[in-house]
């Protein structure tokens, strides 16, 4: 009578070895992979001839050959002093505002609401109805309690790109032009025009008599 326990261990060991042997030609892809961080490398490959492109009128993602998305934009810090001096480098026309509105409703509305007043379907909480989704409500971008009026264009731009407290980053999914289009559109919402902080009052030092 064969020892069933010994036989089962031998079978299990054989299967494990077979699995490792089968994976060995490909496991180097995981062990020796080379990581690329978004917006730090120009990774846009040449688009093969004959590839199916986006339909006419769709928002374009592809940029010039050799670039990542549509431009290479160095990263920055939304809290850096120079961020407040940033200006939208693209024309703010009807097309840009239409793009910004569309992207806001697609990208931002799930948390901030379609009208920007908060209470989007992802972050809405209604304990009375038993709805508990996200512990942190999204700040309103329009109307009562709007936060965008206190934030410069550069601050909003980098928040969209790099994310914030409780907010994911959208740098990899939006082009530079699209991010600025969202900033431009947000400025058209109720109460969202930027109001720079007042400069500190000058102090005078009296001279002793």
Return the closest-CA partner of residue 189 out of 138, 145, 137.
145
CA-CA distances (angstroms) from residue 7 to 15, 16, 17, 162?
A: 12, 14, 15, 55
Cβ contacts of residue 82 below 8 Å, gap of 6+?
A: 76, 154
Q: Which of 2-11, 58-67, 92-101 has the lowest mean pLDDT?
A: 58-67
**What letter does residue 131 receive in the DSSP assignment?**
E
| 29 vs 200, residue with greater confidence | 200
The residue whose two tokens read 């030609």 is 25
Res 77 pLDDT > 60 = yes
Q: Which pLDDT band, with edges at 50, 70 and 90, does 70 fall under? A: very low
Q: Determine the pLDDT at residue 96.
A: 95
For residue 121, is it within any domain?
yes
Q: Which pLDDT band, with edges at 50, 70 and 90, does 119 fall under? A: confident
For residue 74, is it within any domain?
no
Res 140 pLDDT > 80 = yes
CATH number at residue 136: 1.10.760.10
For residue 2, is it within any domain?
no
> What pTM did the predictor assign?
0.61
Phi, then psi, of 42 in degrees rounded to 5: -90, 105
Res 202 pLDDT > 70 = no
Helix axes 94-103, 176-186, angle to 10 degrees: 90
For residue 147, is it within any domain?
yes
State pLDDT tens for residues 42-55.
Answer: 544 555 666 555 55
| 208 vs 199, residue with greater confidence | 199
For residue 192, is it within any domain?
no
Return the closest-CA partner of residue 194 out of 153, 144, 160, 164.
153
Res 28 pLDDT > 50 = no
For residue 152, is it within any domain?
yes
80: number of Cβ within 10 Å: 13
- C-alpha 142: how far from chain center: 20
For residue 95, is it within any domain?
yes
Q: Are 166 and 136 in contact (CB under 8 A)?
A: yes
- The two tokens of residue 146 are 């709007």
Q: Which pLDDT band, with edges at 50, 70 and 90, does 62 fall under? A: very low
Q: Are 176 and 154 in contact (CB under 8 A)?
A: no
Query: Residue 131 belongs to what domain range?
Result: 81-186
For residue 195, is it within any domain?
no
Return the closest-CA partner of residue 171 out of 67, 54, 38, 64.
38
- How many domains is the chain partitioned into structurally? 1
């Amino acid at each position: 009578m064969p020892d069933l326990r010994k036989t089962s261990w031998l079978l299990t060991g054989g299967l494990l070895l077979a699995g490792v042997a089968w994976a060995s030609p490909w496991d180097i892809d995981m062990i020796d992979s080379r990581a690329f961080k978004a917006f730090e490398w120009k990774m846009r490959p040449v688009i093969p001839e004959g590839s199916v492109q986006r339909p006419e009128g769709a928002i374009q993602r592809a940029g010039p050959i050799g670039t990542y998305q549509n431009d290479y934009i160095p990263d920055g810090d939304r809290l850096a002093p120079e961020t407040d001096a940033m200006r939208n480098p693209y024309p703010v026309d009807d097309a840009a505002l239409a793009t910004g509105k569309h992207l806001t409703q697609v990208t931002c509305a799930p948390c901030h609401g379609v009208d920007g007043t908060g209470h989007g379907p992802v972050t809405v909480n209604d304990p009375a109805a038993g709805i508990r989704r996200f512990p942190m409500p999204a700040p309103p971008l329009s109307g009562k309690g709007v936060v965008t009026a206190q934030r410069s264009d550069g601050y909003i731009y980098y928040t969209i790109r790099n994310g914030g407290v409780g907010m994911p980053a959208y740098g990899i999914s939006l082009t530079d032009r699209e991010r600025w289009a969202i900033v431009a559109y947000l400025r058209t919402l109720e109460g969202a025009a930027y109001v720079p902080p007042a400069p500190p009052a000058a102090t005078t030092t009296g001279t002793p008599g």
